[in-house]
Amino acid sequence: MGKTKGRLTLPSESNFLEQTKELLDRWGADAIRDSDGTKLDEATKQLDAKIYTTYFVARNHNDFIKDHMEECQQIFVMSKFWLATEDTLTIPFMEGYFEDQVQPDYVHDPKRYWEVIDRTTGEVVPVEKWTVHEENNTITIEGTRPFHEYTVSFLVYAIWDPTQMYNHITNNWGDVPHDIPFDVRGPHSNQFMHSYLKQWLKDNPDTDVVRFTTFFYHFTLIFNNLGKEKFVDWFGYGASVSVAALEAFAKEKGYRLRAEDIVDEGYYNSTFRTPSKAYLDYIDFIQAFVAREAKKLVDEVHDAGKEAMMFLGDNWIGTEPYGPYFEQIGLDAVVGSVGGGATLRMISDIPHVKYTEGRFLPYFFPDVFREGNDPTIEANKNWLSARRAIMRNPVDRIGYGGYLSLAYKFPKFVDYIEHVTDEFREIYDIVKHTKPYTGLKVAILNAWGRLRTWQAHMVAHELPYKQIYSYLGIMEALSGASVDVSFISFDDIINDGVPEGVDVIINAGDAGTSFSGGEVWKNETLITRIREFVYNGGGFVGVGEPTAVHHQGRFFQLGDILGVEREMGYSLSTDKYFTKELKEHFIIEDIEDVHKIDFGENIKNVYGLTSATEVLEFSNPK
């Protein structure tokens, strides 16, 4: 493989010029970037490369926000469950939260925005029955029912950006000030956002690409009282909530949101929850606002003769690259962190941009680049897991982030990345402008559909969890398979039928989640349209607990198609005879021992419904 150049972004830092020159040449980079905690010196900016500069819209401006703390970002959070044993209960609602990150909002009337709920009955406690004590962050409830549990849903101000908090703690930044995030809905914040950017563009003539990291609202990331992660949802809109947003929503949509619409019994509308109408209305409202405001910033960047790039992470909430408003923003590029094939495709398939870029792992931070550790192992795993997806639809560029000085101390790693970058460019030149072979068109069916293309089953950007790794494997396999993949919602089929050209529908997920579907499988139109699709030759694949809701004598509502049912304990008196494994089948003809296949987590008590059900492997049949 010959030496090539281009399509690579190299991180650098001050006082590291000669080493930057060396790696610029060895890795064939044509762009240089800074990172959170690093700056490029003037000599580095004069090298023969495009200059990316990280730009924070709604944080890293403490001099401004300290004079306008009423415009800090806000979040609705929920207290722990507290048991009443008498007719009065006092709840220390901040218990378990990190007070360096969040503080209760006493600027706005708690009785207008907060909620106290009897979690045993689900009833909202009338506001006249509870009192807030600001001096010790407690609420006293009168007239509680003994041995009922109660929670408080309350607004807090976010006073420390969670990404900077993580970086601060990981890198031991000591006295570096805590970035205070502000809400651009506020009049002072909105004016500052524009005036600062316009001046910044004048002050940074060497910047070619403004790398927005990202725009306004961080994904939901809350820390506990020990400064450890408490709740994380990469898709969470929690930090976009504010009194200003609630009032604007009521005016635009014609009804008011409750605190419960956001805290959602403490699940915070996790992407695994089937979204309510109120939540879908809310995220649509936020997406429209983010697109309008982000477009203004992008236009200002373009007017200055520079490109606008968005980082798909951190403050990405509301941008939704596969949503209805993204095109309006007018970005030149999107860059995102690559964890594997699914996240690679999540980035490379994004429409309405000139180019995409994948930031590969590991990030050059001391948690990985430390004595005794070999960062090449993570780099190799990351590259191999993404490479198959690159063969289907490559990102246009790759890059890395963090402290280049740390990576430079690991010669084996430097050698390996030199190989990776050359290999990427070779693959790109071959596959980018050719259409790969496609044998089938597959549609992934869940509650989110196209909005969350290549984002199914993720919690925190492809981190492994016992409950999801089996499903993430489907996404990984499809990301590099010779199939055309689309993502459709249950509503798509209910309203418009199965899309034209789809050959196979896949429904995968645990029962009751947004990915399996839950109650939607009681919908007659959904059921009959899929049955008709299969009757006419279409395929339907179920993984985990597909079409699952106990209704009319069935757990799997499309058990007639799937050929299986789940024993719930209700039909133990009915014998199950169809458990015999086939010795030969085209699916397993090249597999030496089907019992050695790792299928991930087992779904227990599933059995064949009829003699027509072909069983290839039966885990724990007894």
Domain count, the chain: 2
Domain match, 482 and 359 both: no
Q: Does pLDDT of 2 surpass 80?
A: no
In the chain, the amino acid numbered 552 is Q
Residue 621: is its pLDDT beyond 70? Answer: no
Same domain as 524, residue 461: yes
Distance CA 181, CA 65 (A): 8
- CATH code at position 476: 3.40.50.880
Largest CA distance in the chain: 80
Residues 422 and 545 in one domain: no
> Per residue in 584-595, pLDDT tens?
999 999 998 998
Return the structure tokens found at 15.
């006082």
Q: What tens digit of pLDDT does each residue of 471-485 get?
A: 999 999 999 999 999
105-121 per-position pLDDT tens digit: 999 999 999 999 999 99
How would you classify the pairing of strands 8-11 and 138-142?
Answer: unpaired
Determine the Cα–Cα distance for residues 499 and 318; give it in Å rounded to an integer: 27
Closest CA to 139 of 79, 97, 99: 79
For the stretch 349-401, pLDDT in tens is 999 999 999 999 999 998 899 999 999 999 999 999 999 999 999 999 999 99
Give yes or no: residues 558 and 472 share one domain. Answer: yes
Q: Using alpha carbons only, how large is the chain's radius of gyration in Å?
A: 26
CB burial of residue 118 (10 Å; 0-12, 13-18, 19+): middle
Side-chain-facing half-sphere of 77: CA atoms under 13 Å: 28
* Same domain for 487 and 548: yes
Token output for 9: 């972004």
* Residue where a domain terminates, one of 513, 541, 562: 562
**pLDDT tens per residue across span 303-341:** 999 999 999 999 999 999 999 999 999 999 999 999 999
Catalytic-role residue among 314, 349, 492, 510: 314
Question: Hey, what are 390's tokens?
Answer: 């690159």
How far, CA to CA in Å, does 497 sit from each of 492, 500, 503, 522, 528?
7, 9, 13, 16, 10
User: Is there a domain that residue 338 lies in?
Assistant: yes
**Which residues are CB-neighbours of 269 under 8 A, at least 6 positions away?**
236, 237, 262, 275, 276, 279
Q: Which domain does 382 fall in, by range?
A: 8-63+161-236+271-431
Q: Based on the domain organization, do 298 and 409 belong to the same domain?
A: yes
Average pLDDT over residues 524-551: 98
502 contact partners, CB below 8 Å, separation of at least 6? 441, 442, 443, 486, 488, 533, 538
Beta strands in 370-478 (DSSP E): 397-399, 440-446
Nearest to 186 by CA among 281, 282, 64: 64
User: Is 127 a member of any domain?
Assistant: no
105 in catalytic set: no
SS (H, E, C) 305-347: CCEEEEEECCCEECCCCCCCCHHHHCCCEEEEECCCHHHHHHH
In a domain, 247, yes or no: no
- Residues 423 and 403: their CA atoms lie apart, in Å, by 23
**Half-sphere CA count of 17, side-chain side, radius 13 A:** 9
Say if 351 falls within a structural domain. Answer: yes
DSSP conformational letter for 581: B
Span 79-98, average pLDDT:
98
Strand spans (E) along 159-223: 209-212, 220-223
275 and 335 belong to one structural domain = yes
What is the spatial distance between Cα 581 and Cα 576, in angstroms, rounded to a whole number? 14
Question: Is residue 232 domain-shared with residue 380, that is, in the same domain?
Answer: yes
Domain termination residue (choose one: 431, 464, 485): 431
CB crowding 60-87: b at 16 or more within 10 Å, else e? bbeebbeebeebbbbbbbbbeebebeee
Q: Strand 504-509 vs strand 440-446: parallel, antiparallel, or unpaired?
A: parallel
CATH number, domain of 368, equals: 3.20.20.80
On whether both 448 and 500 belong to a single domain, the answer is yes
Residue 24 and residue 168 share a domain: yes
- SS3 category, 168: helix
205 lies in some domain: yes
- pLDDT bucket at 505, cuts 50 / 70 / 90: very high
Structure tokens at 257: 């949101």
Cα separations in angstroms, 446 against 83, 267, 452, 456, 489: 37, 19, 10, 8, 5
Instruction: Specify if 80 maps to a domain.
Output: no
Helix residue ranges per DSSP H, 461-568: 469-479, 490-496, 524-535, 559-562
Q: What is the pLDDT of residues 149-190, one digit of tens each?
A: 999 999 999 999 998 998 888 788 989 999 999 999 999 999
Confidence of residue 620 (pLDDT cuts 50, 70, 90): low
What b-and-e string marks burial along 288-298, b requiring 16 or more CB atoms within 10 Å of the CB? bbbbebbbebb
Query: Does residue 134 sit within a domain?
Result: no
Q: Is 232 in the same domain as 291? A: yes
Query: Residue 357 in 3-state DSSP?
Result: strand
Residue 462: its pLDDT value, please? 61
- Between the alpha carbon of residue 76 and those of residues 269, 313, 466, the distances in Å are 12, 21, 28
Mean pLDDT, residues 254-261: 98
Query: Which pLDDT does position 622 carry in this prediction?
Result: 55
Asked whether residue 375 falls in the same domain as residue 449, the answer is no
Q: Which of 400, 431, 462 is the last residue of a domain?
A: 431
Least confident of 35-44, 97-106, 345-354: 35-44
Per-residue pLDDT tens digits for 186-230: 999 999 999 999 999 999 999 999 999 989 999 999 999 998 999
Cα(238)–Cα(261) distance, rounded to whole angstroms? 11
Please write the tens of the pLDDT for every residue from 420-459: 999 999 999 999 989 899 999 999 999 999 999 999 999 8
Residue 345 forms part of a structural domain: yes
Whole-number Å distance between alpha carbons of 182 and 60: 10
Query: In this structure, what token pair is assigned to residue 340?
Result: 């594997």
